[in-house]
Amino acid sequence: MIALIYFAATLAFVLGLKAMSSPATAVQGMRIAGVAMVVAVVATLLTPGLNHRGLIFIALVLGAVTAWRSAQRVAMTEMPQMVAIYNGLGGGAAAAIAAAELVGGRVHTPSVGILAVIGATIGAVAFAGSVIAWAKLDGRLARVWRLPKAHNDAVLFLAILTLGLGLTLGVSDHPDGFGLFLFFVLALALGGLLTLPIGGADMPVVISLLNAFTGLAVGFEGYVLANPMLIVAGIVVGASGTLLTVLMAKAMNRPIGNVLFAPLTGEANTTGAETVSGRLKEYSATDAAAALRYAQQVVIVPGYGMAVAGAQHKVWELAQLLEEAGVTVKFAIHPVAGRMPGHMNVLLAEAGVPYEKIFDLEEINGEFPQTDVALVIGANDVVNPAARTNSGSPIYGMPILNVDQAREVIVIKRGKGKGYSGIENELFYLDHCHLVYGSAQEVVAALIAELKAMG
Ligand code: NAP
């Protein structure tokens, strides 16, 4: 009976994930997967011979209440941090399963022991890495840190040491307690050393990679526990995380090996960063509203600043007003805009922007030369032409939204703040670019008021 329930829940997971691949059905997909998870947990609790049901139940209630409350309270701007930390907890849980099985001497065959250790290593790396990613996204940790010398060699040495020790313990009948402790400390340190040097524009790739790691770790531990549900859920997360990593790396035009072992420093490379010339030209809300009102086509490019300001609802109101006035409005989304994969899609969907108005980088880039106004709202790195032209720039090679090719560019931002990668943006100094200063929420509200006044 339990096997049957697991099978049904597994199917529901796969269907839920399929539904998540389109924004139109994503919420439904989340619900299907959520119900499947509850069913699977209940089935596990009913498994004959399960010990400590009371303790498990208390842990479940504590975890569920904490997650429910924090998910309800989290501000939309803190969503990337929350995703990072919950991802880390998944990896940590997988490592904890391995620890419990190894310490309890329940791993009876060497092959299972080896899988437990591999899963534990990946899980501990995902846990430590995700905590660091969380701290970086939350602004609690300086962006990059690496050993003064031979960092990559140290990582390689630590990886060999961790796996070597782990495998020795994994194949032994009674793994030594101190040895296991040391193994987990080394695995956590490995996660830290791998993630600490990564910063700036590479963060999206590392976040999706850690996501894939967590899935893999859960899959391995599912095998150790002989739990098909965990195996499938882990593999599904591992596979989708891997695909996301490949997509993110492609969006950044950065081989994954480079992200891990030749990371961008996240600091401005002075070559080129200082060569920006021209002057910043300001627009009032009235100037900007007029330019937008009399355009035929406007492409709106949202970025992290729109998320921080929580301006998505106002932005959609502005777009609707422009459309009523006969202007064609499109939204252009860069895959790494914001601070988590799909960040802008989530915000625009929340505001009710129809999916057919939202375009990916490849779909929209050809349209900028025919666009009258590109309206950049709190985006910076994803529209920085240095990525095309300045080989000294830390974002060199990353495909960008070619807003500079539009007839006019209007940028909403608060001041001279740089983007996540910490570099200057020559776009803002171009002759046909104007800045409207202020927080996105207030500026867009002012634009709406101006448009209404124009009638
Ligand atoms: P960005 O490069 O971080 O630039 C955001 C801009 O928004 C800043 O220049 C800032 O300028 C402005 N801003 C901040 N608060 C604002 C507000 N309240 N109202 C208006 N403007 C505001 O953003 P992006 O173009 O979206 O690029 C994303 C960057 O984050 C990329 O480098 C990407 O690699 C990185 N990243 C992405 C992810 C992911 O998964 N998507 C994860 C981690 C890192 P002012 O201070 O002058 O206002």
Reported as a single tens digit per residue, the pLDDT across 115-161 is 999 999 999 999 999 999 999 988 898 777 888 889 999 999 999 99
Q: Average pLDDT, whole number, for the chain? A: 91
Q: Is the CB of 215 under 6 A from ligand 1?
A: no
Among protein residues, the one whose CA lies closest to atom 2 of ligand 1: 419
Q: What is the predicted pLDDT for the residue at 271?
A: 44
Pocket test for ligand 1, best of 306, 336, 441 (most atoms within 8 A of CB): 336
Vertex 208, ends 206 and 209: CA angle to 5°?
60
Q: What atom in ligand 1 is closest to the CA of residue 343? A: 41
Q: Which of 202, 304, 331, 409 to mutate to test the pocket of ligand 1 (most atoms within 8 A of CB)?
A: 304
Burial 217-251 (b: 16+ CB within 10 A, else e): bbbbbbbbbebbbbbbbbbbbbebbbebbeebbeb
Helix (H, G, I), strand (E, B) or coil at 376: strand
Q: Cα of 201 to ligand 1 centre, how many Å?
A: 10
Q: Is 173 a catalytic residue?
A: no
Query: Which stretch of DSSP H or E encloses residue 331?
Result: strand 328-333
The DSSP call for residue 135 is H
For residue 75, pLDDT over 90 is answered with no
- At residue 440, what is the residue type? A
The predicted pLDDT at position 272 comes to: 43
The pLDDT assigned to 270 comes to 42
Backbone angles phi, psi at 19, to 5 degrees: -65, -30
Q: For ligand 1, is residue 413 a contact (CB within 6 Å)?
A: yes
Whether residue 203 has its Cβ less than 6 Å from ligand 1: yes
Q: What is the pLDDT of residue 139?
A: 85
- Most confident listed range (48-57, 129-138, 370-379): 370-379
pLDDT attached to residue 264: 57
Q: Does residue 335 have its Cβ closer than 6 Å to ligand 1?
A: no
381 CA distance to ligand 1 centroid (A)? 7
pLDDT for 350: 85
Q: Is the CB of 204 under 6 A from ligand 1?
A: yes
Q: Is the CB of 221 under 6 A from ligand 1?
A: no
DSSP 282: B
| Residue among 414, 424, 427 whose CB has most ligand 1 atoms within 8 A, to mutate | 414
Tell me what the mean pLDDT of segment 175-197 comes to: 94
User: DSSP state, 420?
Assistant: T
CB 16 within 8 A of CB 29: yes
What pLDDT score does 390 carry?
86
pLDDT (0 to 100) of residue 268: 42
**pLDDT category of residue 265 using cuts at 50, 70 and 90:** low
3-state secondary structure of 410: strand
Give 306 Cα–ligand 1 centroid separation in angstroms: 8
Residue 263 has pLDDT above 70, yes or no: no
Environment class of 65 (CB within 10 Å of its CB; exposed 0-12, middle 13-18, buried 19+): exposed
- pLDDT, residue 273, reads 46
Distance CA 5, CA 11 (A): 10
pLDDT value, residue 455: 75
Q: How far apart are CA 212 and CA 217, in angstroms?
A: 9
CB of 379 closer than 6 angstroms to any ligand 1 atom: yes
pLDDT band at 269 (very low <50, low <70, confident <90, very high): very low
**Cα 21-25-26 angle, rounded to 5 deg:** 60
Question: What's the mean pLDDT in 431-451?
Answer: 97
Kindly give the distance from the C-alpha atom of residue 303 to the centroid of ligand 1, in angstroms, as a whole number: 6
Query: How far, in Å, CA of 445 to CA of 288, rounded?
Result: 12
Is ligand 1 within 6 A of the CB of residue 414? yes
Mean pLDDT of 281-307: 97
Ligand 1 atom showing the smallest separation from residue 342 Cα:
41
- The answer to whether residue 259 scores a pLDDT higher than 90 is no
How many beta carbons lie within 10 A of that of residue 286, not counting itself? 14
If DSSP codes are grouped into helix, strand and coil, which group holds residue 413? strand
Indicate the Cα dihedral angle 244, 250, 252, 253, nearest 10°. 160
Model confidence band, residue 246 (pLDDT cutoffs 50, 70, 90): very high
Confidence of residue 392 (pLDDT cuts 50, 70, 90): confident
Percentage above 90 pLDDT, the chain: 71
pTM of structure? 0.84
Q: Measured between alpha carbons, how far is residue 376 from residues 20, 95, 317, 337 in Å?
A: 28, 43, 16, 12
Q: Which residue(s) pair with 433 in the sheet?
A: 409
More confident residue, 148 or 271: 148
Four-CA torsion 337, 339, 344, 350, nearest 10 degrees: -170
- For residue 275, the model assigns a pLDDT of 66
Is ligand 1 within 6 A of the CB of residue 220?
no
> What's the pLDDT at 253?
85
What's the CA gap between 412 and 364, in Å, rounded?
A: 20
DSSP 375: E
Tell how far the Cα of 54 is from the centroid of ligand 1, in angstroms: 46
The residue with tokens 């800045």 is: 435
Q: In 3-state terms, what secondary structure has residue 38?
A: helix
The angle formed by the CA atoms of residues 430, 433 and 436, to the nearest 5 degrees, is 135
pLDDT at 416 > cutoff 80: yes
419 Cβ closer than 6 Å to some ligand 1 atom: yes
* Active-site pick, 287, 372, 381, 404: 381
Integer Cα distance of 204 and 164 in angstroms? 30
